[in-house]
A and B are shown apart, each in its own frame.
Chain A
Amino acid sequence: EAGVAQSPRYKIIEKRQSVAFWCNPISGHATLYWYQQILGQGPKLLIQFQNNGVVDDSQLPKDRFSAERLKGVDSTLKIQPAKLEDSAVYLCASSLDLPRREQYFGPGTRLTVT
């Protein structure tokens, strides 16, 4: 079975620019997660979708971050405008259902903000 796909793999932007990341979860996985992983730290959950509804976005900086999962499959995460502290790896994961199920992670997008 195909894994979680993410693109791009790397992105370098200047501060105040905008950027978008794309994620395609494993087929049939209802739950999709976006994480931010800063170097040397554990992944931090930004937002969690169940199908196309938001389950939790309490740690998403909503003044600059947004995410959508319109058809309950693919998802995009956007940052506008970016700040230096947004430099991190953005990981997408999916699971069959709510958090009690194992999560499968994509390769991540490494974002560098200069």
Chain B
Amino acid sequence: GQQVMQIPQYQHVQEGEDFTTYCNSSTTLSNIQWYKQRPGGHPVFLIQLVKSGEVKKQKRLTFQFGEAKKNSSLHITATQTTDVGTYFCAGPVTGNQFYFGTGTSLTVIP
């Protein structure tokens, strides 16, 4: 079954609104990565989190890694049209097997 789930699957927001996607793994992750994929494009690495409870920020993006290292979130403050795309979390679920999450597709309405 699916090892890494993300919610919501789709999110439509007005430009300027905030956006959050949540990632949940069935097992503990040694680390978690986040990628962004623009429509028609390929995944692009955003960030990696390693420590339990870690929080990292990149301008308007805030990434968190859960205390139990089984969940993570990505929060975007004041979305812009350039934020459009699908956001994936990913990590080594078992050993070296690398799983991508189901993704959250973000649409920003100008």
Contacts and interface: CB of A to CB of B under 8 A. Distances in A.
Interface string B1-28: 0001000000000000000000000000
Contact of B43 (A43, A48, A56): A43
How many A residues touch the partner, as a band?
A: 20 to 34
B96 interface: yes
A42 B102 contact: yes
A107 B37 CA distance: 11
B80 to A, nearest CB: 23
Interface stretch (A15-23, A67-75, A95-103): A95-103
Contact of A33 (B30, B31, B44, B98): B98
B101 interface: yes
Contacts of B30: 100
B88 interface: yes
Contacts, number: 55
Given A42-B102, A100-B30, A100-B48, A108 B42 contact: yes
A59 B103 CA distance: 19
A99 B100 contact: no
SS class, residues of chain A in contact with chain B: loop
A21 B88 CA distance: 24
A44 B101 CA distance: 9
Contacts of B42: 91, 105-108
B96 A48 contact: yes
Interface of B: 4, 30-31, 33, 42-45, 48, 50, 88, 90-92, 95-103
17 contacts: A41-B102, A42-B100, A43-B100, A48-B98, A56-B96, A56-B97, A58-B97, A93-B43, A98-B96, A99-B91, A99-B92, A100-B30, A102-B48, A103-B43, A103-B45, A105-B44, A107-B42
Interface of A: 33, 35, 41-45, 48, 55-56, 58-59, 91, 93, 98-100, 102-108
